[in-house]
Structure 1
């Protein structure tokens, strides 16, 4: 038994001697088991480099070059058949027309599938603050959050769809950005659903198509 305690005490002393007490600070250099992982032979950003005349690691972009593609798939980006989706439909990604003005209307075809997609994403990301009906009475209002604007005032009714797209993408005031959570097509789908919510507060019985009136008992 005494040998066990002797080995046990020796092990504790050895561990403490090598690793030190928890929380203690040491002025000695750490032990590098694999030094090449900490001291790699590489050029650091904004570092000095004696090879170039300006002494910088970072190299300026060659004049006349332009970025191509947004991914890491080199074979696809630099293939002869590659087309930049942003250049094919810039309004879809920016919300602006060619003259830099906010786009009115939609750069995608608004179908039933788009409306269902917009309703789904609106329920997930927007209704919590703006309310299911877009009136600003979301669940966050119950927890003391500042009043959320309603979609049913004249200011937002008259706002260009492209400006709404920009707000969803980058956020505004207390509203965070959703550009990283919703694809451009999904953002436009949400806007289409918002327009449907706005329309639902303005229509009359005369605006209901004849084929749907029997379902409403009209």
Structure 2
């Protein structure tokens, strides 16, 4: 057993002598057992290269290359240059009123699906601010049914989903631009349902009301 202790002590001393104490100051450069991990063979941006005839490490994009998310090289939607669609704003920077996308039954149903996943936990199933998080201390969630939010431009609602506001974080990484507009459309449906009158019901359907 004594020889086992001697062997262990020898290995510890050898390791410390080779690897050194991490964080300690030294006058000599450290010994690198695997130098390729610290000094990788690679080219940095705009570096020179003797391999290519033009001497550049950066290579031009091959003709006809289509970035991920585009169907053709001329697909302008990839640039997201449509401010109304992708930022919810007009050319003068004001928020869009109305929808830059067609509001269909399918869009509203998609908005309902996304709303129930991402919005209902805080804002409640009917948009009254009484989501499950309220029982855990989040009492500042607003209701969609007050006049301020009913009168808010659709583009501003879209902007809030995109960039967040106050304690609400951005949902841009979870909802695509079209899904954000779908959620806004569903929020408008909730607001209208909560503030509807008998005049909003078609004549042929009023007989079924109680």
Task: Kindly report structure 1 stretches of 4+ aligned residues shifted beyond 6 Å.
Answer: 41-45
* 1:57-86 C-alpha deviation (Å, 9 max, x unpaired): xxxxxxxxxxxxxxxxx8114998322314
How far apart in 2 are the matches of 1:93 and 1:108?
Answer: 11
Count of residues in Structure 1 that have an aligned counterpart in Structure 2: 185
How far apart in 2 are the matches of 1:40 and 1:167?
Answer: 43
2:150 corresponds to which of 131, 152, 157: 157
Residue 103 of structure 1 corresponds to 96
Residue 33 of structure 2 corresponds to 33
Where in structure 2 are there 5+ consecutive unaligned residues? Answer: 48-63
Say whether residues 1:19 and 2:19 are aligned partners.
Answer: no
How far apart in 2 are the matches of 1:96 and 1:191?
Answer: 14
How far apart in 1 are the matches of 2:116 and 2:178?
Answer: 16
Distance 1:15 1:186, change over 3 A: farther
How far apart in 2 are the matches of 1:129 and 1:184?
Answer: 21
How far apart in 1 are the matches of 2:89 and 2:23?
Answer: 57
Say whether residues 1:76 and 2:69 are aligned partners.
Answer: no
Secondary structure of 2:66's aligned partner: helix
1:148 corresponds to which of 141, 154, 157: 141
Deviation at 1:40, TM superposition (A): 4.5
Where in structure 1 are there 5+ consecutive unaligned residues? Answer: 50-73
TM-score (norm 1): 0.71
1:208 corresponds to which of 189, 201, 204: 201
Residue 171 of structure 1 corresponds to 164
* 1:82-111 C-alpha deviation (Å, 9 max, x unpaired): 223145633111101223221111111112
- Alpha-carbon RMSD across the aligned residues, in angstroms, is 3.1
